[in-house]
């Protein structure tokens, strides 16, 4: 098979030492770097304590939109520009964040406790990252700064979901209603503005949203003091410590197919450290990166006990030394530092250090549990599916095989809606991926289960739209065998998920969570149809 320019660049980037994510997003040629780059490895490591994002607080109550007699907590969170030290030895970095921080304040809410959030855009009127005005929704006649908040993984009415076109300009705000009628899980919130989402999230517009419930409480997992959110993402910085988002070599179309940075922020710091006791901890991990797949592990090979996925607890913990997490995905991990008293351990992405744990020397009492059974999971039956939709993931290349846009099932954002499940129906969505990328596909509103994956013959699909299987049916890995809202559709495979479209009728979106793909047409609306 002839090797394309893109493949070649990808391989040479890999040979040059870039971390290539296994069975995942790949590496392109180094994009244009106009300003002198910061080499993060030149920085002193583990000199900044890991920040713990503040909790979001409701200041008041307001009548519930569904029953005005009931008063429910009301929050107000504003998106602001701010300057922050991402490292002790760097000048302050300009970022944009919810509540003027990155990550934004953590929501910590009880399941079924509905809340209202007023999301206020108090950002400047000018963007500081390179907008590509040829992308749909980001044309020159659109306001430069637009934002809309979306809680990823939340089951919410459509008008509160943060539809990408429902953006607000600086000075405006919107009140969204979150019923929280869902199981305990770590969700996250982030900007979702059409055509500039990758830039807004890159700027820092993201935070954690944790839902609790009684099933989880009864498990006696490590308590709040020992429960730590880890919001991980990659960035690039210039020598002045400013965020740097690379551009293509074509000035009119600065869009790049994927962003991979060499500097990794954990809760907004480069190489932070965390002092821990020799006992069990619970880590709520979010990959908030634009395009990077992380392969998390600990330097001393201590097992990571995964207790949950995107949408909550697994049926039983799964132990592993390394776990992959794609953009948009979450991991709920328990780590027991008991045997590690007095040592220092690195959290790594393959061999790249992300942060350090300093385990104190004196042993402590640990009453928390790592139960063998967590939450029973009812498998959705294929026979319950009213429909299977085959949906291709498409990359459109230029003459030299550089991607120019990405599509879902051959359709662009503005094409008429084609996915329209009926409310309360169950459907199988089968993603056909003949591209070279693993695409983390995310559906709003619903949680789903992964049925299986199967290798396909790309050429037969690309040339004749025929599905030829070249391998056996592979069940989901144990670490993704729980409830999900984002699924890695691996290259050269058919990936099948099953979901019940319950909650609310109305218009939602599904998309690839590689933000560069999402912003360049790899996002589609879908309608949940009201039953009559």
Where do contacts with ligand C2O occur on this chain (CB under 6 A)?
Answer: 150, 152, 190, 192, 328, 442, 444, 509, 511, 513
**Residue facing ligand C2O at closest CB distance:** 152
Residue 251 phi, psi dihedral angles, 5° rounding: -55, -30
Nearer to ligand C2O, 26 or 150 (CB): 150
Shortest spacing between CB 447 and Cu ion, in angstroms: 11
**Of these partners, ligand C2O, Cu ion, none, which one is at the site of residue 517 (CB under 5 to 8 Å by kind)?**
Cu ion
**Residue facing Cu ion at closest CB distance:** 512
**Which residue among 517, 524, 525, 526 contacts Cu ion (CB under 5 A)?**
517
- Annotate 250-274 with b (16+ C-beta within 10 A) or e (fewer): eeeebbbbbbbbbbbbbbbbbbbbb
Written as six digits, the tokens of 158 are 């459509």
**Of these partners, Cu ion, ligand C2O, none, which one is at the site of residue 192 (CB under 5 to 8 Å by kind)?**
ligand C2O
Measured over the CA atoms of residue 365, residue 344, residue 219 and residue 153, the dihedral's sign is positive
The dihedral over CA atoms of 127, 129, 132, 135, expressed in degrees to the nearest 10, equals -70
384 with 426: CB under 8 angstroms? Answer: yes
**Of these partners, Cu ion, ligand C2O, none, which one is at the site of residue 87 (CB under 5 to 8 Å by kind)?**
none
Nearer to Cu ion, 237 or 448 (CB): 448
Nearer to ligand C2O, 375 or 511 (CB): 511
Does position 282 interact with Cu ion (CB under 5 A)? The reply is no
Does position 152 interact with Cu ion (CB under 5 A)? The reply is yes
**Of these partners, Cu ion, ligand C2O, none, which one is at the site of residue 266 (CB under 5 to 8 Å by kind)?**
none
Separation between Cα atoms, residue 407 and residue 137, nearest integer Å: 15
How many CB atoms neighbour CB 210 within 10 A?
17
**Which residue among 10, 292, 330, 439 contacts Cu ion (CB under 5 A)?**
439
- Kindly give the residue spans of alpha helices, DSSP state H, lying in 204-299: 214-217
Nearer to Cu ion, 51 or 434 (CB): 434
User: In the range 352-371, which residues lie near Cu ion by CB under 5 A?
Assistant: none
Give the N- to C-terminal CA distance of the chain in Å, as an integer.
53
Nearer to ligand C2O, 87 or 513 (CB): 513
CA 413 to chain centre: 21
Does position 228 interact with Cu ion (CB under 5 A)? The reply is no
Q: State the residue for tokens 């030492």.
A: 17
Q: What is the size of the binding site for Cu ion (CB under 5 A)?
A: 6
347 with 307: CB under 8 angstroms? Answer: no
Quick one: 279 exposed, middle or buried, by C-beta within 10 A (0-12, 13-18, 19+)? buried
Shortest spacing between CB 293 and Cu ion, in angstroms: 11
Separation between Cα atoms, residue 188 and residue 180, nearest integer Å: 13
Separation between Cα atoms, residue 13 and residue 26, nearest integer Å: 9
Nearer to ligand C2O, 277 or 437 (CB): 437
159 with 504: CB under 8 angstroms? Answer: no
**Rg of the chain, C-alpha, whole Å:** 22
**Of these partners, ligand C2O, Cu ion, none, which one is at the site of residue 447 (CB under 5 to 8 Å by kind)?**
none
Question: Which range, of 40-48, 382-390, 444-452, 496-504, touches Cu ion by CB under 5 A?
Answer: 444-452
**Of these partners, ligand C2O, Cu ion, none, which one is at the site of residue 514 (CB under 5 to 8 Å by kind)?**
Cu ion
Shortest spacing between CB 153 and ligand C2O, in angstroms: 8
Phi-psi region of 503 (alpha: psi -120 to 50; beta: other; left: phi over 0): left
Shortest spacing between CB 192 and ligand C2O, in angstroms: 6
Shortest spacing between CB 522 and Cu ion, in angstroms: 5
| 388: helix, strand or coil | strand
Three-point CA angle 278, 480, 157, nearest 5°: 105
Nearer to Cu ion, 500 or 517 (CB): 517
Does position 512 interact with Cu ion (CB under 5 A)? The reply is yes
Task: State the binding string over 468-507 for Cu ion (x if CB under 5 A, else -).
Answer: ----------------------------------------
Written as six digits, the tokens of 190 are 């982030």
Nearer to ligand C2O, 103 or 278 (CB): 103
Does position 391 interact with Cu ion (CB under 5 A)? The reply is no
Question: Which range, of 116-124, 183-191, 249-257, 513-521, touches Cu ion by CB under 5 A?
Answer: 513-521
Question: Which range, of 296-304, 372-380, 416-424, 435-443, touches Cu ion by CB under 5 A?
Answer: 435-443
Q: HSE (CB half, 13 Å, CA atoms) of 182?
A: 29
Q: State the residue for tokens 């218009």.
A: 507
Shortest spacing between CB 513 and ligand C2O, in angstroms: 6
**Of these partners, ligand C2O, Cu ion, none, which one is at the site of residue 330 (CB under 5 to 8 Å by kind)?**
none
Does position 514 interact with Cu ion (CB under 5 A)? The reply is yes
Separation between Cα atoms, residue 444 and residue 513, nearest integer Å: 11
Does position 515 interact with Cu ion (CB under 5 A)? The reply is no
Binding positions for Cu ion, rule: CB under 5 A: 152, 439, 444, 512, 514, 517
């Amino acid at each position: 098979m002839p090797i394309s320019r893109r493949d070649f660049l990808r391989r040479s980037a890999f040979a040059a030492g870039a971390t290539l994510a296994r069975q995942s997003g790949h590496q392109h040629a180094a994009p244009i770097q106009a300003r002198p780059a910061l080499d993060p490895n030149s920085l002193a490591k583990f000199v900044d304590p890991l920040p713990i994002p503040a909790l979001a607080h409701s200041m008041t109550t307001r009548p519930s939109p569904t029953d005005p007699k009931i008063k429910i907590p009301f929050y107000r969170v504003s998106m602001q520009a701010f300057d922050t030290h991402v490292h002790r030895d760097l000048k302050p970095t300009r970022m944009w964040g919810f509540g003027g921080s990155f990550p934004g304040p953590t929501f910590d809410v009880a399941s079924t406790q509905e809340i209202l959030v007023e999301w206020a855009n108090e950002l400047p009127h000018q963007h500081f990252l390179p907008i590509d005005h040829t992308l749909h929704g980001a044309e020159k006649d659109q306001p430069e700064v637009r934002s809309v908040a979306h809680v990823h993984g939340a089951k919410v009415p459509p008008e509160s979901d943060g539809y990408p076109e429902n953006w607000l300009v600086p000075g405006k705000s919107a009140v969204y209603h979150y019923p929280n009628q869902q199981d305990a899980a770590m969700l996250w919130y982030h900007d979702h503005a059409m055509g500039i989402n990758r830039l807004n999230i890159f700027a820092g517009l993201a935070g954690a949203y944790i839902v609790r419930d009684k099933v989880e409480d009864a498990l006696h997992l490590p308590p709040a003091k020992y429960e730590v959110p880890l919001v991980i993402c990659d960035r690039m910085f210039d020598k002045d410590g400013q965020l740097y988002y690379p551009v293509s070599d074509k000035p009119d179309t600065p869009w790049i197919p994927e962003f991979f940075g060499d500097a990794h922020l954990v809760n907004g710091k480069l190489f932070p450290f965390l002092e821990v006791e020799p006992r069990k901890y619970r880590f709520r991990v979010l990959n908030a990166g634009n395009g990077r797949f992380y392969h998390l592990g600990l330097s001393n090979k201590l097992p990571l006990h995964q207790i949950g996925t995107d949408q909550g607890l697994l049926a039983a913990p799964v132990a592993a030394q390394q776990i992959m997490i794609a953009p948009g995905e979450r991991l709920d991990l328990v780590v027991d530092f008991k045997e590690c008293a007095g040592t220092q351990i690195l959290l790594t992405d393959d061999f790249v250090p992300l942060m350090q744990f300093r385990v104190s020397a004196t042993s402590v009492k640990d009453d928390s549990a790592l139960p063998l059974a967590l939450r029973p999971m009812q498998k959705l039956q294929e026979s319950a599916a009213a429909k299977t939709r085959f949906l291709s993931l498409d990359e459109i290349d230029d003459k030299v095989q550089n991607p120019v846009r990405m599509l879902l099932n051959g359709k662009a954002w503005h094409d008429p809606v084609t996915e329209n499940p009926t409310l309360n129906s169950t459907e199988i969505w089968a993603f056909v991926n003949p591209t070279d990328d693993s695409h983390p596909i995310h559906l709003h509103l619903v949680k789903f289960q992964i049925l299986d994956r199967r290798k396909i013959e790309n050429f037969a699909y690309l040339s004749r739209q025929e599905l030829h299987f070249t391998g056996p049916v592979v069940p989901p890995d144990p670490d993704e065998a729980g409830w999900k809202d984002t699924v890695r559709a691996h290259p050269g495979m058919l990936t099948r998920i099953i979901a019940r479209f319950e909650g609310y009728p109305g218009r939602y979106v599904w998309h690839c969570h590689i933000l560069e793909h999402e912003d360049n047409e790899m996002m589609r609306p879908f309608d949940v149809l009201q039953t009559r």
